[in-house]
Every structure is written in structure tokens, then in C-alpha cells.
């Protein structure tokens, strides 16, 4: 498996370097062959090359099996004409990474605000309310007058169908339950189509139990009883918001692993941002990035039918569980270790 690695901005270099060591060591212990290609994008690339995503980088990634990328700042990368392309947005669009899979689960030994739970938010990632990916040309957020803004939300049956299918397939490997989260009582046509399409796909999976919850009620329900959910499928922005909540309920946003997947390519990137408030201080939680790396290997194993990559993912997961149980965690998880020390404890357990 050839994997391009990009450190990203903010805390990215700190967390990605731990994830790289983790991947290298776990792969050495198995039959898996992992080639890591180190690249840069974002602010680093802007400073060195005057453009945040180089055309050669795109070719390198196209020739690879996956991408592991740190978080990217959204603030300074917002003018494509000046080479300030947001790499996260760019790769999501370029590779049509339509399925954003964001698991959230509690760990023994970590501070828990609720009952133990284990769920996955399956977030549609290619349309919805996101002004940067809705249109072939131009944005879908418009300033009509100085005081009037119109934001368009795109929902298409094909996109609803493919994300629903990923959610039901995932549920078949878990506790066989899918919850559709929506706002079809108000967004009757768009979310109506989303719910209808999910229910149509559900008929192909008779073993999976299905229910649907309105998004605002979901915010209360998931806090009160997160253990009742297994796979949660939802549209882009609802999934973005809900998954930060579920990550924090599980312990910390610093545990928020995620992959952005298409059918033949996937990118591992933690669900949180670049956390500029804690960057460079050696206090960022590296488990979001290690968890994302494990998800990418597991996705690759499933796609190619090569079990050795799943084994690497399982080793990473097991070492993470053990390290957290021992209380060797960063302060966002109630611990007192730095990023490096958590990395060392993790590698020892691996």
C-alpha cells in the first residue's frame, strides 16, 4: 500500500509524526507492505512553492492508494486564484470523497460523561450546505446586497443513495442498526428525499433495524442515551456538527478519528481542525490521527481483500485501548502527558 503523508497545519505535524511512527512499527510487525511518501501541502507548501496544492502533488496522490493528512487551517487558505487552495476541500472534491466516516466510542480509563457507547456517524460529504463543493463553478453562498446573504443547499438522490448504502453496509458489520438523522419536518423536499432514499436502500438490508430522528431531537437523545445508536447516517452539515458532539461525549475531540472515502480512494484525517490554540505546545492528543490511520488501513483491507492491512489496523486499535486504559493520555483526556510521551507509551504497547 502506497500512502502519501502530509503533516498539515497547526497541531498536524505533531500528531501526524506520531501516527507515522505507529504505522511504520505496526506494519513491520506484520506481513503488510507499507510505502510512505512524505509530501507537503497547505501553509508549508504555500511558503515553499507559492501554492498550497502543487499539480505534481496531485499526480503523486493519484498514483497512491491513500492519503493521510493532518488538519488544515481554513482561515488563510481561501483564495484559489492566489494559490491559497484549501487542501482538505480540494482533495475531498478532486477524489469525490463522499463518505465521511466518524466513529465515536468510549474507552475504559478515559473520562466518561455518559454511559459507555460505540457509534459511527456516516456523513454525506459531497454536497449539502457546503458552499465550497456544491457547484462546478462559483460558490453557493452569495451576498445579494450588503445586508442579504443567500446560501444554497444541494441534495441529490444519487448522493443520498450512495451514502445510505455505505451506512447500511457498515451496519451489517456492526450491530445492524441505522438511524437516519434529518430535518424533513422543515426541509420537506431536500431532507424528505434524503429520508426516502435511505428507506429505499434499507429495503435491500432486511436484517438492519432502521429508525429516524429529527436532528434537533438527536442532539438531546445522543447526550441522554448514546448507547442506543449504532450507525447514524445524515447529510453534510448535520453530520459535521453531530460528530463533534459525539467525539466530545466519548472523551475528547482529540479522539475524533475519521476517514473521507470514495469507492477507490480514501483520506485519513482527524475530524477536528488545526487547533491553533494548542499548536506547537506538545499537548495535542495524537489518537485522533492514529485512529484515522487505522481506519484507512481497514478500509484498504476491505477494498483489496488483503487481511494483513486489517491486522495492522487492529494492532493500532489494541495498543490505543491499552494506552488509554493505563491513563497514559494527554490533558484533554484528563491525563498529564505530552504528545511525544503518549506516542512513546503507545509505541511501547504496540
What residues line the site for ligand ATP (CB under 6 A)? Answer: 10-11, 15, 71, 73-75, 253-254, 272-278, 284-285, 288, 332
Closest CB to ligand ATP among 219 and 262? 219
Q: Report, in Å, the least distance between residue 10 CB and ligand ATP.
A: 6
Closest CB to ligand ATP among 184 and 255? 255
First to last CA, the chain: 20
Q: Report, in Å, the least distance between residue 329 CB and ligand ATP.
A: 10
Closest CB to ligand ATP among 195 and 247? 247
Q: Report, in Å, the least distance between residue 254 CB and ligand ATP.
A: 3
Strands laid side by side in the 177-182 sheet: 35-38, 2-6, 66-69, 266-268, 259-261, 99-105, 118-124, 231-234, 177-182, 209-214
Question: Which residue number has the CB closest to ligand ATP?
Answer: 273
The answer to whether the CB of 282 falls within 8 A of the CB of 322 is no
Closest CB to ligand ATP among 64 and 267? 267
Instruction: Give the whole-angstrom CA distance, residue 206 versus residue 45.
Output: 49
Closest CB to ligand ATP among 42 and 66? 42
Closest CB to ligand ATP among 147 and 277? 277
Please give the helix or strand (H or E) that residue 234 lies within, else none.
Answer: strand 231-234
Q: Report, in Å, the least distance between residue 213 CB and ligand ATP.
A: 25
Q: Report, in Å, the least distance between residue 295 CB and ligand ATP.
A: 16
DSSP 3-state assignment of 102?
strand
Query: In the chain, where does DSSP find H-type helix?
Result: 12-28, 43-49, 55-62, 87-94, 157-172, 190-202, 215-224, 236-249, 287-304, 307-325, 339-349
Q: Report, in Å, the least distance between residue 244 CB and ligand ATP.
A: 7
C-alpha dihedral over 166, 171, 173, 176, to 10 degrees?
Answer: -160
Amino acid at each position: 500500500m502506497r500512502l502519501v503523508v502530509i503533516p498539515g497545519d497547526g497541531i498536524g505535524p505533531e500528531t501526524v509524526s506520531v501516527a507515522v511512527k505507529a504505522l511504520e512499527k505496526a506494519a513491520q510487525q506484520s506481513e503488510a507492505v507499507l510505502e510512505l511518501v512524505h509530501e507537503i501541502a497547505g501553509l508549508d507548501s504555500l511558503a515553499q512553492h507559492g501554492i498550497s496544492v502543487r499539480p505534481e502533488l496531485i499526480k503523486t496522490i493519484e498514483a497512491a492508494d491513500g492519503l493521510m493528512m493532518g488538519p488544515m487551517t481554513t482561515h488563510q487558505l481561501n483564495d484559489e486564484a492566489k494559490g491559497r487552495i484549501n487542501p482538505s476541500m480540494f482533495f475531498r472534491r478532486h477524489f469525490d470523497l463522499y463518505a465521511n466516516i466518524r466513529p465515536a466510542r468510549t474507552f475504559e480509563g478515559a473520562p466518561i460523561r455518559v454511559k459507555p457507547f460505540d457509534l459511527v456517524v456516516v456523513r454525506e460529504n459531497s454536497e449539502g450546505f457546503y458552499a465550497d463543493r456544491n457547484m462546478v463553478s462559483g460558490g453557493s453562498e452569495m451576498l445579494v446586497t450588503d445586508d442579504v446573504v443567500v446560501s444554497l443547499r444541494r441534495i441529490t438522490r444519487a448522493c443520498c443513495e450512495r451514502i445510505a448504502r455505505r451506512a447500511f453496509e457498515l451496519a451489517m458489520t456492526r450491530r445492524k442498526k441505522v438511524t437516519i438523522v434529518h430535518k424533513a419536518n422543515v426541509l420537506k423536499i431536500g431532507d424528505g428525499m434524503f429520508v426516502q432514499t435511505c428507506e429505499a436502500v434499507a429495503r435491500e438490508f432486511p436484517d438492519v433495524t432502521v429508525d429516524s430522528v429529527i436532528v434537533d431531537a438527536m442532539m438531546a437523545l445522543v447526550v441522554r442515551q448514546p448507547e442506543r445508536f449504532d450507525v447514524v447516517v445524515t447529510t453534510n452539515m448535520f453530520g459535521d456538527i453531530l460528530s463533534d458532539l459525539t467525539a466530545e461525549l466519548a472523551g475528547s475531540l482529540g479522539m475524533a478519528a475519521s476517514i473521507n472515502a470514495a469507492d477507490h480512494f480514501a483520506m485519513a484525517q482527524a475530524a477536528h481542525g488545526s487547533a491553533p490554540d494548542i499548536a506547537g505546545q506538545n499537548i495535542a492528543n495524537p489518537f485522533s490521527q492514529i485512529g484515522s490511520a487505522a481506519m484507512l488501513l481497514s478500509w484498504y483491507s476491505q477494498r483489496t481483500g488483503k487481511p494483513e492491512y486489517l491486522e495492522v489496523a487492529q494492532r493500532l486499535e489494541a495498543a490505543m485501548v491499552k494506552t488509554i486504559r493505563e491513563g497514559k493520555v494527554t490533558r484533554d483526556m484528563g491525563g498529564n502527558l505530552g504528545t511525544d510521551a503518549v506516542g512513546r507509551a503507545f509505541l511501547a504497547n504496540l
